[in-house]
Amino acid sequence: MTKEFIEGNKIFLETDFERKKDRYMTLVESQHPTVLWIGCSDSRVNPERITHSRAGELFTHRNIGNIVPTHDWNFATVLEYAVKHLKVKKIVICGHSDCGALKALDADMKDDSYIPMWINSAKEAQIRVDARLPEQPTTPEEMAARKREIEIENVRLQIEHLKTYPLVSEAERKGTVAVHGLYYDLKSGVLTEIA
């Protein structure tokens, strides 16, 4: 497997790094991303690829379900560094279609130790969507629509979690940071803003 990475790196060096050497050399000294991107660890949703961003533009934090935990040192450290030291102007939370973490909200995960605890931070999104539905979905189309609504509602919920961090609420109040929600559709490749 590592041979594939080394070979891929050779292609990167030839097709990108050498052609844009000046750009990469500026990144050797420092980084100046303008966006903190909070996304899912899903291998199909690469933030730089789906946004056509260059190296150094996105400061990323990825985890299962694009969760913004309210009591997690790893996340809090990334957030603090992005806002206070990198001085990002935007924070984006990006959800996506076919999210396994959110499918797991309906699954029996009794054999797993960590996943159920982690995705519990998204449970409220499922509760909100189910409360809005007139009846339990039964057709494949209705179930797919419910799943999509949960994925979108989870982005909204995680934005709420993000705004509980005093450093985010203060930066928003001062106008130095704007928070956005996005949703990526795997079938169409389209990225849309969530209101």
Does 45 lie in the same domain as 16? Answer: no
* 180 carries a ligand binding annotation: no
Range of the domain at 5: 1-30
Domain count, the chain: 2
- Please state the rounded mean pLDDT for residues 97-124: 91
Does 64 lie in the same domain as 15? Answer: no
- How does DSSP classify residue 54? P
The C-alpha atoms of residue 180 and residue 195 are separated, in whole angstroms, by 8
How much is the pTM?
Answer: 0.93
The rounded mean pLDDT for the chain is 94
Tokens of 6: 């080394």
pLDDT band at 74 (very low <50, low <70, confident <90, very high): very high
* 99 carries a ligand binding annotation: yes
* 85 carries a ligand binding annotation: no
Q: Which of 168, 154, 149, 128 is nearest to 67 (CA)?
A: 154
Q: Which of 27, 5, 163, 13 is nearest to 83 (CA)?
A: 163
The C-alpha atoms of residue 36 and residue 14 are separated, in whole angstroms, by 29
Q: In what order do the strands lie in the sheet with 35-40?
A: 58-63, 35-40, 90-96, 178-184, 191-194
Quick one: pLDDT at residue 138?
85
Q: List own/partner pairs for 40-43 with CB under 8 A and 24 or more apart.
A: 40/64, 40/65, 40/66, 40/94, 40/95, 40/96, 40/99, 40/101, 42/96, 42/99, 42/100
Q: What is the pLDDT of residues 44-54, one digit of tens each?
A: 999 999 999 99
Q: Which of 169, 143, 147 is nearest to 103 (CA)?
A: 147
Quick one: pLDDT at residue 132?
94
Does 6 lie in the same domain as 96? Answer: no
Quick one: pLDDT at residue 160?
98
Q: Do you know the residue count of the chain?
A: 195
Does 140 lie in the same domain as 64? Answer: yes
- Please state the rounded mean pLDDT for residues 18-24: 90
- Please state the rounded mean pLDDT for residues 27-47: 95
Does 37 lie in the same domain as 26? Answer: no
Q: What is the pLDDT of residues 162-172, one digit of tens each?
A: 999 999 999 99
Does 67 lie in the same domain as 6? Answer: no
Beta bridge partners of 94: 39, 182
Does 93 lie in the same domain as 18? Answer: no
- Please state the rounded mean pLDDT for residues 3-12: 92
Does 114 lie in the same domain as 45? Answer: yes
pLDDT band at 125 (very low <50, low <70, confident <90, very high): very high
Beta strands in the chain (DSSP E): 35-40, 58-63, 90-96, 178-184, 191-194
Does 156 lie in the same domain as 75? Answer: yes
Quick one: pLDDT at residue 90?
98
Q: Report whether 179 contacts 94 (CB < 8 A).
A: no
pLDDT band at 183 (very low <50, low <70, confident <90, very high): very high
Quick one: pLDDT at residue 194?
95
- 137 pLDDT more than 90: no
Quick one: pLDDT at residue 134?
82
Does 48 lie in the same domain as 73? Answer: yes
Does 104 lie in the same domain as 16? Answer: no
Beta bridge partners of 90: 35, 178
- Please state the rounded mean pLDDT for residues 91-103: 97
- 111 pLDDT more than 90: no
Does 11 lie in the same domain as 95? Answer: no
The C-alpha atoms of residue 63 and residue 82 are separated, in whole angstroms, by 17
Quick one: pLDDT at residue 44?
96
